């Protein structure tokens, strides 16, 4: 957890050298400390400056082991169940989904690719974490590669691009959306999930909202600002919902005892109990699932 803490909010360092990534408007202070808000469209972004080297370090081997995710691999069952739910929505909303060439940005350990591979014609993906990609290829036998999507030549246009809980981590989400638009066939779809800062839970929690943690989460979209960004790059939103997530109790315990209350010893003492293997479905309605169609 150390590396995340060390990177938290360098005071007075402004990310906002450029204008709002969504609309080009001016980024002013927001009601939330450390976050800036576009005066024109309301887009919220972290007031931090992160170098590419720092980001590389953050997403090294440690990232998926407790920095942000409780042993991500141990969560496989829950994650795959959540992906199965999203695939069901994709099947309902995307014409000829079964015949699609699907590309995933931020494929991590390959759980989604493994889950979706039987449902589409071709499934492949990219992730910046070499450790995660190695596991995706070796353990899940999926077509994953390590690299930065922005510098990756796809060599073809695809039918569907997915970005699960990824856009909030990107330094320049606008550049990713622009490249995704050019990598998709006309009429192709992009599907994303990310926190919704306009949700009731986010508003109620304020600065303590669970999704606010720079520098891993740099951007805080709402349905409105994500829709604006997508429209600006030639997409039409065809679906927006707030699906719940299935989690096991252990990850919730970890979140509360270790990340929030800073009591890792209590967590370790309770962790041995099989009770925490139970899975429950939680919906705080603060994570949005958006599907958008590239206009011809």
CB of 129 closer than 8 Å to CB of 69? no
Query: Scanning residues 17 to 56, which ones bind Zn ion (CB under 5 A)?
Result: 20, 22-23, 25, 38, 40-41, 43
CB of 39 to Zn ion, least distance (A): 8
Check binding of 252 to Zn ion (CB under 5 A). no
Which lies closer to Zn ion via its Cβ, residue 35 or residue 184? 35
Helix then strand count (H, E) for the chain reads 10, 13
Which lies closer to Zn ion via its Cβ, residue 86 or residue 219? 219
Which lies closer to Zn ion via its Cβ, residue 107 or residue 226? 226
Residue 246 token pair = 């299935």
The arrangement of strands across the sheet holding 27-29 comes to 27-29, 35-38, 44-46, 219-220
CB of 194 closer than 8 Å to CB of 167? yes
Q: Near Zn ion by CB under 5 A, which window of 14-22, 59-67, 70-78, 257-265? A: 14-22
Inter-helix orientation angle 173-183/223-232, to 10°: 50
CB of 26 to Zn ion, least distance (A): 8
CB of 187 closer than 8 Å to CB of 161? no
Check binding of 243 to Zn ion (CB under 5 A). no
CB of 36 to Zn ion, least distance (A): 10
Question: How many whole angstroms separate alpha carbon 126 and alpha carbon 191?
Answer: 15
CB of 240 to Zn ion, least distance (A): 19
Question: How many whole angstroms separate alpha carbon 216 and alpha carbon 171?
Answer: 10
Q: Nearest-CA neighbor of 108 among 80, 84, 89, 85?
A: 80
Q: Is beta strand 122-127 parallel, antiparallel or unpaired with respect to 143-146?
A: parallel
Which lies closer to Zn ion via its Cβ, residue 37 or residue 294? 37
Which lies closer to Zn ion via its Cβ, residue 16 or residue 41? 41
Check binding of 16 to Zn ion (CB under 5 A). no
Encoded one letter per residue, x for contact with Zn ion by CB under 5 A and - for no contact, window 216-235 reads --------------------
Which lies closer to Zn ion via its Cβ, residue 41 or residue 145? 41
Binding site for Zn ion (CB under 5 A): 20, 22-23, 25, 38, 40-41, 43
């Amino acid at each position: 957890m150390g590396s995340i803490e060390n990177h938290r909010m360098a005071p007075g360092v402004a990310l906002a050298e450029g204008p709002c990534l969504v609309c080009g408007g001016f980024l002013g202070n927001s009601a939330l400390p450390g976050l800036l808000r576009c005066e024109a469209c309301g887009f919220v972004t972290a007031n931090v400056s992160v170098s590419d080297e720092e980001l590389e370090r953050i997403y090294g081997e440690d990232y998926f082991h407790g920095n942000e995710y409780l042993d991500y691999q141990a969560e496989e069952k829950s994650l795959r169940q959540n992906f199965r739910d999203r695939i069901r929505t994709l099947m309902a909303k995307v014409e000829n989904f079964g015949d699609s060439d699907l590309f995933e940005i931020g494929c991590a350990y390959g759980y989604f690719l493994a889950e979706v591979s039987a449902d589409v014609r071709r499934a492949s993906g990219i992730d910046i974490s070499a450790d995660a990609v190695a596991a995706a290829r070796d353990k899940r036998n999926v077509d994953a590669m390590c690299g930065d999507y922005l510098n990756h030549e796809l060599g073809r246009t695809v039918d569907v691009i997915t970005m699960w809980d990824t856009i909030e981590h990107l330094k320049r989400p606008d550049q990713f959306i622009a490249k995704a638009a050019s990598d998709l066939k006309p009429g192709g779809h992009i599907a994303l999930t990310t926190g919704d800062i306009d949700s009731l839970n986010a508003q109620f929690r304020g600065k303590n909202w669970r999704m606010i943690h720079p520098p891993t989460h740099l951007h805080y979209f709402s349905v409105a600002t994500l829709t604006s960004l997508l429209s600006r790059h030639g997409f039409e939103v065809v679906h927006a919902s707030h699906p719940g997530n299935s989690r096991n109790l252990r990850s919730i315990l970890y979140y509360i005892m270790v990340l929030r209350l800073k009591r890792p010893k209590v967590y370790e003492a309770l962790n041995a109990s099989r009770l925490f293997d139970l899975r429950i479905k939680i919906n705080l309605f603060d994570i949005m699932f958006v599907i958008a169609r590239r206009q011809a």
